[in-house]
Structure formats: structure tokens, C-alpha cells
């Protein structure tokens, strides 16, 4: 598998970095002075991809890919500053397709090498930090301010942060309601088979409704509710805005959570529950001491799927006025401002990755508390 992904590497050589959207600037035209180090690393990485997957080579690939990821970013930012100083102060330097592709491939190389090294979670987090922290410092120090995406940010920083907070709000609210409804539903589906059989077709149908259609469907009844009971309207329930967005997201997230809860409870060995009952566990003790800890890793898996889904889908709720990063993205789309789209999309991707990482860690923790359940069955 390592060889397969690394074979893609020549692409990096072939695909040059275009750093100006209007006029392409390739990586090779920027080759002067210290930049040669990056070129050397690139060649080195290519050679490493041909080398057998030994520990030494894999470790060197990780280092090379990490340095390249940071280095290319710095290079692009530096070039943007240069363009502004040398040419015209209004010049826009957008990140080119070559850089995005290079980052993507570096990510692949890193993930692949770490997989082959069977790196621990901590080591993975360390590598991620080694790449992301310098890039974050670059952003924070203003070194990247001349890139066009950062200019968009400078123009709307207040709006941007409001959108980020709103986005997190929407996701958190939707997850809260999903868990409050979904976990008990999953338990009910486990306890009463017939209820489960009735529940899943419904949840499956909800999943198949396109998100925009679901928002539309919810607008009418919610607007009616708000009109009929003005108190609800004052509490924030209306056809547009936060309420239908959160409601729709909740409906979407229910399926993975309910399914995860059911699967989690179902994989608790029946021998364990039977023995527990026979030994005199009360129903509460059985639930909290045996079922919950044993089901937790699988339940968390369902919640993880739901959370990532919510982070992505929350962007669409902007269409019905819920706000969030989606509003930046759609504004950019409708005005053909590509950098504005990116300003909305990149944080969504980062948020998704962050949520994913947090849940992976939680699941690992939950699993370490229930060693080798499959062997005990």
C-alpha cells in the first residue's frame, strides 16, 4: 500500500505550483537561494518512495513531507509579499492548484508512512502539530497576510469569527438534541425489537431526503407553529433561521446515533447480561456497570459519524438563514469570489478533522477500558 500511494509522488514533480491565479507561477521559477532545499527534499521524497519500506526510510519520508508541507506554505506567503512590494500593492496572490495538490499528496504520504510505521496516536498528533503549528504561526504572525484568502479574511474578520461561532453553535445544538433523543431511542430499539423495526425505516427515509428539501419541508410547519403560538416565535422558533436548521440537522444525525447505540448494546455478550442478572445485579447496575462501558466504543463511533456529518451539513443551513460558515461560502459562490468560498470551506474541513480526531481519541480511551471484547465473547 505504501508503494501504491508513493507512486503518486511523481505527480508533484510534474504538476508545478501555480501561485498566481491570473498568471501561473510555477514552483521552478521560484527556485533560488534557500528554496533549493525544498527542491532537494522533493527529489529526496521521490527517491524514498522507490526505497523499500524500512523504518529509516519511512521516518525520513515523514520528516521530508512535513518540512515540505510547511516550506511550500511559507514559500507561497513570501512570494505574495514580494509581489506586493515589487509590483502593485493591489496584486492578489491566490494559492494555486499545485500547492493544494502538493499539500494533499504530502498529507497522503504522511498518513501512509505513519500507517506503515504503526505509529501511536500520540506520535500521529505530534506530526500533525509539527505541520500545523508552524503554519498557524505563519498565519498569526501576519506573514501570510498578503495571500488573497487572508485579504478576504482581513476584510471580514469580524463576520468570519461570528460565522465560526455560529457554525459551532448549530453543530453543538444539533448534537445535543441528537444525543438527548437518539441515545434513548437506541436503547428502546434494543429493548423492544418491534420498536426498532418501526424506527429504522423512518430514520432511513429521513436520511434519503435531500438536505435542502428537508429544510424547505420544515419551514412551513415551523412558521405555522410560530404564528399560532407567538410565545414560541419569541423563543426563537420560526420558519427560517436557527430552529429549522438545528431541527433538520438533528433529524439527519439521529440515524447514525440510534444505529450506533443499538449496535453497541447488541454486541454486549448475552452471557454477560445473563450472568449479571443471575448474580443479582439490579437493572440499573446491569445498565451502568456492564452495558454502558461495553457498548460505549461502538456508540461513540455512531456519535462520531453524526458529528462529522453535522459539521458538513451545517454549511447548508445558511440557505435558510441559520448563518454559520455556510453563509460565507454561499456568498462567495453567488459572487464568484473563490477566495471567499475557501474562507468558508477551509474552516469547515478543519472543524471536521478536529471533531474526527477528538472522537477517535475518545473511542480509543473507551476501548482501552474494555480490552478485547471480541475475544471474550
Partner 1 sequence: MIEFKNVSKTYGHTPDAPKALDDVSLSIGRGELVVLIGASGSGKSTLLKMINRMEQPDTGTLLLDGQDMARMPVRELRLRMGYVIQSVGLFPHWTVARNIGVVPTMLGWSRERITARVAELLSLFDLDPAAYGPRYPHQLSGGQQQRVGVARALAGDPDVLLMDEPFGALDPLIRAALQDEVKRIHQASGKTIVVVTHDIDEALRLGTQIVLLEQGRILQVGSPLALLSQPASERVADFVGRSDVGIKLLSLQGVGSLARVGAPENAPSLPISATLREAVSALALHGCNRLNLLDVTGSHAGVLHAADLFKHSRMGAQKGIEGSTHHA
Q: Which residue ranges make up the site for partner 1 (CB under 8 A)?
A: 269-282, 285, 289-290, 293-294, 369-373, 375-376
For residues 303-321, b (16+ Cβ closer than 10 Å) or e, as one string?
A: bbbbbbbbbbbbbbbbbbb
Which CB, 231 or 372, lies closer to partner 1?
372
CB of 256 to partner 1, least distance (A): 24
Min CB(185)–partner 1 separation in Å: 25
Cα atoms in the 13 Å half-sphere on the side-chain side of 362: 16
Can you tell me the distance from the alpha carbon of 12 to that of 58, in angstroms, rounded to the nearest whole number?
18
Cβ closer to partner 1: 6 or 276?
276
Q: What is the 3-state secondary structure (H, E, C) of 87-115?
A: CCCCCCECCCHHHHHHHHHHHHHHHHHHH
Closest separation between CB of residue 43 and partner 1, Å?
49
Q: C-beta of 281: minimal distance to partner 1 in Å? A: 8
Helix (H/G/I), strand (E/B), else coil: 239: coil
Q: How far is the CB of 302 from partner 1 (least distance, A)?
A: 19
Assess contact for 16 and 27: CB atoms under 8 A.
yes
Comparison of 236 and 283: residue with beta carbon closer to partner 1:
283
Shorter beta-carbon distance to partner 1: residue 115 or 285: 285
Rounded distance between C-alpha atoms, residue 266 and residue 61, angstroms? 43
237 SS3 class:
coil
Name which of 296 and 341 has its Cβ closer to partner 1: 296
Of 110, 41, 113, which Cα lies nearest the Cα of 71?
41
In whole angstroms, the minimum distance from the beta carbon of 263 to partner 1 comes to: 17
- Cβ proximity to partner 1, 122 vs 372, nearer residue: 372
**Which of 138, 276 has the CB closer to partner 1?**
276
Please give the Cα distance from 310 to 359 (Å, whole number).
Answer: 14
Using an 8 Å Cβ cutoff, are 254 and 182 in contact? yes
When computed from its CA atoms, the radius of gyration of the chain, rounded to whole angstroms, is: 25
Q: List the grid coordinates of 94.
A: 491566490
* Residue number, 293 or 352, with CB nearest to partner 1: 293
Query: Phi and psi at residue 147, in whole multiples of 5°?
Result: -70, 145
Neighbours of 336 (CB within 10 A): 8
Please report how close the Cβ of residue 192 comes to partner 1 at its closest, in angstroms: 18
Nearest distance, CB of residue 187 and partner 1, angstroms: 19
Amino acid at each position: 500500500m505504501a508503494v501504491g500511494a508513493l507512486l503518486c509522488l511523481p505527480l508533484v514533480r510534474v504538476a508545478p505550483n501555480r501561485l498566481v491565479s491570473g498568471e501561473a507561477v510555477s514552483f521552478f521559477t521560484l527556485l533560488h537561494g534557500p528554496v533549493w532545499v525544498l527542491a532537494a527534499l522533493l527529489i529526496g521524497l521521490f527517491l524514498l518512495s522507490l526505497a523499500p519500506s524500512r523504518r529509516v526510510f519511512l521516518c525520513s519520508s515523514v520528516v521530508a513531507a512535513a518540512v515540505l508541507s510547511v516550506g511550500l506554505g511559507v514559500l507561497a506567503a513570501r512570494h505574495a509579499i514580494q509581489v506586493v512590494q515589487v509590483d502593485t500593492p493591489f496584486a492578489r496572490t491566490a494559492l494555486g492548484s499545485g500547492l493544494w495538490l502538493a499539500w494533499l499528496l504530502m498529507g497522503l504520504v504522511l498518513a501512509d508512512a505513519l500507517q506503515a510505521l504503526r505509529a501511536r496516536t500520540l506520535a500521529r498528533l505530534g506530526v500533525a502539530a509539527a505541520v500545523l503549528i508552524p503554519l498557524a504561526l505563519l498565519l498569526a504572525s501576519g506573514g501570510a497576510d498578503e495571500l488573497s484568502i487572508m485579504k478576504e479574511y482581513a476584510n471580514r474578520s469580524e463576520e468570519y469569527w461570528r460565522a465560526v461561532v455560529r457554525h459551532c453553535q448549530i453543530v453543538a445544538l444539533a448534537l445535543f438534541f441528537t444525543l438527548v433523543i437518539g441515545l434513548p431511542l437506541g436503547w428502546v430499539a434494543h429493548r423492544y425489537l418491534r420498536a426498532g423495526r418501526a424506527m429504522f425505516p423512518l430514520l432511513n427515509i429521513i436520511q434519503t431526503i435531500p438536505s435542502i428539501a428537508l429544510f424547505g419541508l420544515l419551514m412551513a410547519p415551523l412558521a405555522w407553529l410560530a404564528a399560532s403560538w407567538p410565545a414560541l416565535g419569541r423563543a426563537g422558533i420560526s420558519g427560517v433561521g436557527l430552529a429549522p436548521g438545528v431541527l433538520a440537522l438533528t433529524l439527519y444525525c439521529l440515524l447514525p446515533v440510534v444505529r450506533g447505540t443499538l449496535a453497541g448494546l447488541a454486541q454486549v455478550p448475552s452471557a454477560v447480561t445473563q450472568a449479571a442478572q443471575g448474580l443479582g445485579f439490579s437493572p440499573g447496575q446491569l445498565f451502568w456497570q456492564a452495558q454502558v462501558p461495553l457498548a460505549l466504543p461502538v456508540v461513540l463511533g455512531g456519535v462520531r459519524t453524526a458529528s462529522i456529518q453535522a459539521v458538513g451539513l451545517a454549511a447548508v443551513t445558511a440557505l435558510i438563514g441559520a448563518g454559520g460558515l455556510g453563509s460565507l461560502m454561499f456568498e462567495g459562490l453567488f459572487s464568484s469570489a473563490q477566495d471567499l468560498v475557501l474562507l468558508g470551506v477551509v474552516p469547515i474541513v478543519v472543524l471536521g478533522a478536529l471533531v474526527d480526531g477528538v472522537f477517535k481519541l475518545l473511542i480509543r480511551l473507551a476501548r482501552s477500558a474494555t480490552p478485547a471484547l471480541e475475544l471474550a465473547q
